C-alpha cells in the first residue's frame, strides 16, 4: 500500500473473524489473563504474542505503534506519554550498551537541550554540541571523542536547518554510534529517517501525527537492532501512552497525508508573502533557494513538500513589538505548540527556548524579533489577511 492508504488502514482490524470492529477499540484493561497459567507464563516470558499488563503492552497502544511503524518503515515502535518521554527513552536505549556520550545538534528544541544538560549530564553522560549541517565538524567531533549516539532534528526548531541524515548516518556507523532523529517537523510524509540509515526516530505525537490539539503523546520508531532494548526500558520505567490518547492519535494519523499536504501548501504561500512584506526582515523556510541547506533540501525532500513551519524576523523589533504584533492577530492562535489544524504562532525566546540562556539563544540565532508560525489547514487567504492586519 502507498503512504496514504497505510495511514488509513495500518493498525486497525488486526484480528481475523466474522465480527471485527472497523476501527481499533479503546482497551482500558490494565491486566489480562489466559485460560491457563502455562499460556500466561509464555506471554510473560515473551515466548508468544499476547498481553499481560498494560505497562508492558496494550492492544490500543499496539495498534497505534503498528500504524506509525508502517508509515516510518520501522521494525517496531513504542508509544510514550509525551514527545520528551519518547526522546528520553530513545536516548536511554541508544546508550544502553554504547559509550555514555551524546553528540547533539547545536540547533534543537529547548526542552531537548535541557534534557541533555540538566538530566543526562548530571548522571555522567558526556554531552557535546556540533553544527550538524557541517559534515566536517561532525566527523571531527566523532574522531576526537567517539559518541554513543548522535542526536538531531530532521528540520531544526525554530530556524529550520536541515542536516544530511544519510551522510550523518554513515558517520555514526563508522564510530559505532546510534543515530537518533527527531522527525516531528517533517513527518514521515516528507522524510523517513530510518530509510536513510537512522536507528531510532522520535515524534511528538502531540503535533502533526495526532494533529488536532487534543492529544499529548510521543512515539519512538526503531530498527530491529534497538527495538528490544527500547521495549525493555519501557517495561521497567513505564513511559507509556494511555489507551484513550492512543485511540485519538490513531484517528488523527488517518488524515495525516491530507492535512500535511494542505499545511505545506499554505506554508509556501505564506512564506512567499512574508518575504515581500516591508515589516519582515528575514524569512526562514526550506523552499527558499537561498536557504543555507538548499542543496540538502532538494536532495532529500519531495518536490513541493517543505514542511508547514515558517519562522520570520520582524524588522527593528524587540520583545515589546513582537508581543504587540501577536496580540493583534485575530484568527491565528497564540499557543506553544505546532502541527494542529489551526494556524499557531509563538515567540521562541519566551516559549520553546525560554530555558536557554539569552547569550546561548543569540549564538543559536534565536533573536528577540523571531516569530515561529505553524500553518494550519485554513484558507491561505484568511491566514495572510490576519498577518497583514497585524503587521500593519
- Residue 162 burial by CB count (10 A; 0-12/13-18/19+): exposed, middle or buried? buried
CA distance 160 to 155: 5
Strand, coil or helix: 4: helix
**What's the sign of the alpha-carbon dihedral 360, 363, 364, 365?**
positive
Q: What are phi and psi of 364, to 5 degrees?
A: -75, -10
Return d(Cα 296, Cα 133) in angstroms, integer. Answer: 9
Q: Report the C-alpha gap between 197 and 149 in whole angstroms.
A: 13
Any idea how long the chain is?
A: 392
Backbone angles phi, psi at 92, to 5 degrees: -60, -45
Cβ atoms 341, 377 nearer than 8 A: yes
Rounded to the nearest 10 degrees, the angle between the axes of helix 380-391 and helix 256-275 is 40
User: Hey, which bits of the chain come out as E strands?
Assistant: 76-80, 101-105, 126-130, 149-153, 178-182, 200-204, 218-222, 280-284, 309-314, 333-334, 344-346, 370-374
Query: Which residues are CB-contacts of 328 (< 8 A; sequence separation ≥ 6)?
Result: 389, 390, 392
DSSP state of 120: I
Residue among 139, 126, 127 at smallest CA distance from 167: 139
The CA angle 102-107-109, to the nearest 5 degrees, is 90
Active-site residue set: 55, 109, 182, 207
Q: Give yes or no for a contact between 203 and 180, defined as CB atoms under 8 angstroms apart.
A: no
Amino acid at each position: 500500500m502507498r503512504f496514504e492508504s497505510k495511514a488509513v488502514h495500518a493498525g486497525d482490524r488486526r484480528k481475523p473473524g466474522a465480527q471485527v470492529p472497523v476501527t481499533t477499540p479503546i482497551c482500558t484493561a490494565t491486566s489480562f489473563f489466559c485460560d491457563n497459567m502455562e499460556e500466561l507464563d509464555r506471554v510473560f516470558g515473551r515466548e508468544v504474542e499476547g498481553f499481560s499488563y498494560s505497562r508492558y503492552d496494550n492492544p490500543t497502544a499496539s495498534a497505534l505503534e503498528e500504524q506509525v511503524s508502517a508509515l516510518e518503515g520501522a521494525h517496531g515502535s513504542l508509544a510514550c506519554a509525551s514527545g520528551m518521554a519518547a526522546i528520553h527513552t530513545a536516548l536511554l536505549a541508544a546508550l544502553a550498551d554504547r559509550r555514555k556520550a551524546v553528540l547533539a545538534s547545536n540547533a534543537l528544541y529547548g526542552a531537548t537541550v535541557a534534557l541533555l544538560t540538566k538530566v543526562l549530564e548530571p548522571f555522567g553522560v558526556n554531552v557535546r554540541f556540533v553544527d550538524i549541517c557541517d559534515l566536517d565538524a561532525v566527523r571531527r567531533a566523532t574522531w576526537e571523542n567517539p559518541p554513543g549516539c548522535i542526536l538531531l532534528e530532521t528540520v531544526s526548531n525554530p530556524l529550520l536547518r536541515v542536516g544530511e541524515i544519510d551522510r550523518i548516518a554513515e558517520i555514526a556507523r563508522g564510530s559505532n554510534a546510534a543515530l537518533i532523529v527527531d522527525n516531528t517537523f517533517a513527518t514521515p510524509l516528507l522524510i523517513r529517517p530510518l530509510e536513510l540509515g537512522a536507528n531510532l526516530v522520535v515524534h511528538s505525537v502531540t503535533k502533526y501525527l495526532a494533529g488536532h490539539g487534543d492529544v499529548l503523546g510521543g512515539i519512538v520508531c526503531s530498527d530491529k537492532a534497538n527495538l528490544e532494548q527500547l521495549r525493555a526500558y519501557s517495561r521497567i520505567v513505564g513511559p507509556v501512552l494511555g489507551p484513550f490518547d492512543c485511540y485519538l492519535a490513531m484517528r488523527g494519523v488517518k488524515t495525516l497525508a491530507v492535512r500535511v499536504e494542505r499545511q505545506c501548501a499554505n506554508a509556501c504561500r505564506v512564506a512567499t508573502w512574508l518575504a515581500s512584506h516591508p515589516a519582515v526582515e528575514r524569512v526562514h523556510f526550506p523552499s527558499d533557494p537561498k536557504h543555507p541547506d538548499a542543496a540538502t533540501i532538494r536532495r532529500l525532500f519531495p518536490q513541493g513538500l517543505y514542511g508547514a513551519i515558517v519562522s520570520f524576523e520582524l524588522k527593528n523589533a524587540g520583545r515589546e513589538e513582537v508581543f504587540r504584533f501577536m496580540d493583534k492577530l485575530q484568527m491565528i492562535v497564540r499557543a506553544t505548540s505546532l502541527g494542529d489544524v489551526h494556524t499557531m504562532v509563538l515567540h521562541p525566546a519566551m516559549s520553546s527556548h525560554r530555558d536557554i540562556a539569552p547569550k546561548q539563544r543569540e549564538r543559536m540565532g534565536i533573536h528577540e524579533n523571531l516569530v515561529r508560525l505553524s500553518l494550519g489547514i485554513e484558507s491561505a487567504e484568511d491566514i495572510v489577511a490576519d498577518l497583514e492586519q497585524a503587521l500593519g
